[in-house]
């Protein structure tokens, strides 16, 4: 809905998603316990979807952009404050989540022999490597924040400031993003916010266009299966594999956009945000899957010892119930790029890109001094959509 610019309906959907996130966070522990117990003999996809940290941040970010496009500054301000509050709590939330996962694993590991689990996990490393699973190169942005959301938070509070404290908020957001990205345009914005904080009039700053490019589609989850040795049982079983998720990167739509001689430059990588959160969760996912497979295989072997036919059926059931949870917000972009340009004298912006079929002709409102031109292209050779926010 957002891409079609049906902003009110888009925000209703985001509101519903956010409500579900809060409901998941506050779900009664007995209900969660029942889900977890059931999933140990099935797979994690039977439990409620557990939102990622970035899901909440991006829901508030897109809601704020929708309100900005509608000219609803009051609600846009609320959403940007919510976005930044989520960002502020990101690192703490990650620590709490990891602590809860470790507690769950400790509770589940008492059901099986820890030595056998450890031996199985040791054998997992080379098998994962053969699947191209190498998490060592992935790292989070400092504090697990998304620089794109923090940058737009700064841009909003600079251009829609109600008092000098808003300029200070903007400067602090830009300073944090510049420290993470070293993007030259962010440095210009940071200096602009600093001058406004010191009392410089906004009227002394030239009319400007911020071109934001939402580029490609972010990494998605896919399932893969491996036959992992489970040392607690003999080979007298029909099936003892595990299923795990892995991240698969998708391509950019275009390498950059061109506005005259100016090209957009990287601002934030959604892939990096997704990879960092996946990296923090993968050891838990792997350990839990090994425990689950061990429990299932113990049951299968016990049945096999009593009745080979029923044991074979149990093996078929185990194979059918083995699966990875690959649910995610798959429509998020691969990255965002940024270009900061002077508003053209004719109030018409021409945007091009390598291999773009037709250039984008953007008409700017002559009654506004500042403009955000939000360009989205999800896939290569796909004509981008354009959203103009006059500020």
* Coil vs helix vs strand at 208: strand
**Higher-confidence position of 379 and 132:** 379
Note the pLDDT tens digit of each residue in 21-65.
Answer: 875 555 444 444 444 444 555 666 667 777 888 999 999 999 999
| pLDDT for position 254 | 96
pLDDT at 126 over 60: yes
Note the pLDDT tens digit of each residue in 160-201.
Answer: 999 999 999 999 999 999 999 999 999 999 999 999 999 999
Note the pLDDT tens digit of each residue in 319-360.
Answer: 667 778 889 999 999 999 999 999 998 999 999 999 998 999
| pLDDT for position 283 | 85
Could you tell me the pTM of the whole model?
0.86
Pair of tokens at residue 115:
């030595």
User: Where are the chain's structural domains?
Assistant: 7-390
pLDDT over 90 for what percent of the chain?
54
Contact (Cβ atoms closer than 8 angstroms) between residue 337 and residue 264:
yes
**Higher-confidence position of 24 and 108:** 108
Mean pLDDT, rounded, for 263-280: 95
CB atoms within 10 A of CB 177: 30
| pLDDT for position 27 | 47
| pLDDT for position 196 | 97
SS3 per residue for 264-327: CEEEEEHHHHHHHHHHHHHHHHHHHHHHHHHHHHHHHHHHHHHCHHHHHHHHHHHHHHCCCCCC
Contact (Cβ atoms closer than 8 angstroms) between residue 117 and residue 109:
yes
pLDDT at 380 over 50: yes
Mean pLDDT, rounded, for 106-120: 68
Pair of tokens at residue 284:
């838990």
The candidate with the shortest Cα–Cα distance to 277, out of 318, 322, 221, is 221
């Amino acid at each position: 809905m957002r891409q079609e610019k049906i902003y009110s309906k888009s925000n209703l959907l985001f509101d519903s998603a956010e409500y579900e996130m809060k409901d998941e966070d506050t779900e009664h522990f007995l209900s969660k316990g029942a889900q977890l117990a059931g999933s140990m003999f099935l797979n994690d996809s039977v439990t409620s979807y557990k939102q990622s940290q970035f899901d909440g941040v991006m829901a508030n970010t897109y809601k704020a952009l929708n309100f900005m496009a509608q000219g609803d500054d009051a609600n846009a301000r609320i959403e940007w404050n919510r976005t930044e509050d989520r960002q502020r709590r990101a690192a703490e939330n990650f620590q709490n989540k990891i602590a809860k996962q470790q507690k769950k694993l400790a509770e589940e590991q008492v059901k099986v022999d820890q030595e056998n689990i450890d031996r199985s996990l040791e054998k997992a490393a080379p098998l994962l490597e053969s699947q191209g699973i190498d998490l060592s190169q992935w790292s989070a942005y400092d504090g697990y924040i998304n620089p794109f959301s923090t940058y737009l938070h700064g841009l909003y509070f600079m251009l829609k400031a109600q008092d000098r404290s808003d300029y200070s908020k903007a400067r602090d957001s830009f300073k944090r993003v510049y420290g993470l990205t070293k993007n030259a345009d962010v440095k210009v914005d940071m200096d602009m916010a600093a001058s406004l904080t010191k009392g410089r009039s906004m009227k002394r700053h030239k009319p400007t266009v911020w071109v934001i490019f939402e580029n490609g589609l972010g990494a998605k989850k896919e399932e893969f299966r491996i036959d992992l040795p489970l040392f607690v049982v003999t080979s007298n079983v029909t099936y003892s594999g595990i299923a795990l998720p892995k991240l698969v990167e998708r391509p950019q739509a275009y390498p950059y956009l061109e506005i005259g001689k100016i090209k957009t430059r990287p601002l934030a990588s959604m892939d990096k945000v997704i990879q960092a959160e996946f990296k923090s969760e993968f050891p838990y996912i792997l350990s839990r899957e090994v425990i689950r497979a061990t429990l299932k295989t113990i049951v299968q072997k016990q049945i096999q010892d009593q009745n080979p036919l029923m044991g074979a059926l149990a093996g078929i059931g185990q194979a059918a119930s083995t699966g990875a949870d690959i649910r995610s917000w798959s429509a998020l972009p691969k990255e965002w790029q940024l270009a900061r340009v002077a508003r053209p004298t004719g109030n018409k912006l021409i945007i091009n890109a390598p291999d773009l079929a037709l250039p984008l002709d953007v008409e700017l409102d002559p009654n506004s001094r500042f403009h955000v031109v939000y360009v989205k292209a999800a896939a290569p050779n796909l004509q981008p959509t354009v959203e103009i926010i006059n500020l």
